[in-house]
């Protein structure tokens, strides 16, 4: 994998350096996709990430909060989910700071983790 500046990433070095790898996991979806279809698609993506920790964190959020998001928050959440699992986990665990553009989506997920 190559980092933001085209240099190879070693041992997680890309997690703390520069902007996020934009569009690495960008998913295509129709612009006129019905809301219910989009929610089902995002719920599936939340539970089938590839990293079990992220499956549990994002899957729980999808099951409990996704339907409550307005269109703008849903867009922000989908943009958040387009980032690699290792990057997301580093933000959620506090190992690396999240860029400003992702902080609102991250805050919603962290709030959901603390609610029991």
Within a domain: 15: no
Residue closest to 4 by CA, chosen among 61, 62, 87, 64: 87
Contact in structure between 105 and 80 (CB atoms under 8 Å): yes
Within a domain: 19: no
Within a domain: 53: yes
Q: What percent of the chain has pLDDT over 70?
A: 72
Residue 27 has pLDDT above 60, yes or no: no
pLDDT one-digit tens code per residue, 70-105? 999 999 999 999 999 999 999 999 999 999 999 999
pLDDT at 98: 97
pLDDT one-digit tens code per residue, 28-43? 556 789 999 999 999 9
pLDDT at 116: 56
Within a domain: 102: yes
Tokens 């992220």 — which residue?
Answer: 54
The answer to which of 22-26, 51-55, 63-67, 92-96 has the lowest mean pLDDT is 22-26
Within a domain: 62: yes
What pTM was computed for the model? 0.72
Within a domain: 8: no
**Residue 112's pLDDT band (cuts 50, 70, 90):** very high
Q: What's the domain range around 48?
A: 34-114
Within a domain: 61: yes
Residue 16 has pLDDT above 90, yes or no: no
Element of type H or E holding 15:
none
CATH code of the domain covering residue 71: 1.10.150.250
In the chain, the number of structural domains is 1
Within a domain: 7: no
């Amino acid at each position: 994998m190559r980092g933001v500046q085209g240099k190879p990433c070693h041992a997680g070095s890309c997690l703390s350096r520069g902007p996020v790898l934009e569009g690495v996991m960008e998913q295509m979806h129709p612009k006129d996709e019905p809301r219910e279809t989009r929610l089902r698609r995002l719920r599936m993506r939340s539970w089938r990430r590839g990293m079990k920790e992220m499956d549990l964190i994002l899957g729980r959020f999808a099951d409990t909060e996704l339907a409550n998001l307005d269109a703008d928050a849903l867009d922000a959440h989908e943009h958040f989910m387009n980032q690699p699992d290792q990057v997301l986990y580093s933000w959620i665990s506090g190992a690396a700071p999240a860029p400003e553009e992702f902080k609102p989506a991250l805050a919603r997920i962290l709030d959901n983790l603390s609610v029991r």
